[in-house]
Amino acid sequence: MYFDYTYLIFVVPAMLLALWAQSRVNSTFNKYSKVMSARRMTGREAARRILDANGLHNVQINRIAGNLTDHFDPRTNTVNLSESVYDNASVAAIGVAAHESGHAVQHAVGYSPMKLRAAIIPFTNIGSKLAVPLVLIGILFSFYELAYIGCIFYASLALFQLVTLPVEFNASNRALEALENTGILGNEELKGSKKVLSAAALTYVAALATALAQLLRLIVIVNGRRDRR
> At residue 1, does pLDDT exceed 50?
no
Q: Which of 113, 214, 104 is nearest to 157 (CA)?
A: 214
Q: In the predicted model, is pLDDT for residue 161 greater than 50? A: yes
Ordered DSSP codes for 205-224:
HHHHHHHHHHHHHHHHHHHH
Residue 137, φ and ψ in degrees, nearest 5 = -65, -40
Question: For the chain, what is the mean pLDDT?
Answer: 94
Which spans in the chain are helix H? 5-6, 12-32, 43-53, 83-86, 91-109, 112-140, 144-181, 187-227
Q: How confident is the model at residue 3 (pLDDT cuts 50, 70, 90)?
A: low
* Tally of domains within the chain: 1
| Digit-coded pLDDT (tens) for 59-89 | 999 999 998 999 999 999 999 999 999 999 9
Digit-coded pLDDT (tens) for 13-54: 999 999 999 999 999 999 999 999 999 999 999 999 999 999
Confidence band of 180 (pLDDT split at 50, 70, 90): very high
Give the per-residue pLDDT at 8: 86
SS3 36: strand
Indicate if 100 belongs to the active site: yes
Amino acid at the residue 21: A
> CA distances (Å), 32 to each of 24, 93, 196, in order?
12, 8, 8
pLDDT at residue 201, as a whole number: 95
Say if residue 2's pLDDT is above 60.
Answer: no
Out of 45, 100, 168, 189, pick the active-site residue.
100
* Local structure of residue 82 (DSSP, 8 states): E
pLDDT at 229 over 80: no
The per-residue pLDDT for 17 is: 95
Q: What is the pLDDT of residues 90-105, one digit of tens each?
A: 999 999 999 999 999 9
Compute CA distances 98 → 21, 73, 195, 215, whole Å.
Answer: 21, 15, 14, 34
User: Could you read off the pLDDT of 115-156 as tens digits, one per residue?
Assistant: 999 999 999 999 999 999 999 999 999 999 999 999 999 999
pLDDT at 152: 96
- Print the domain residue range for 123: 5-227
Q: Rounded to the nearest 10 degrees, how much is the dihedral formed by the CA atoms of 63, 101, 114, 71?
A: -20
- Banded pLDDT at 5 (limits 50, 70, 90): confident
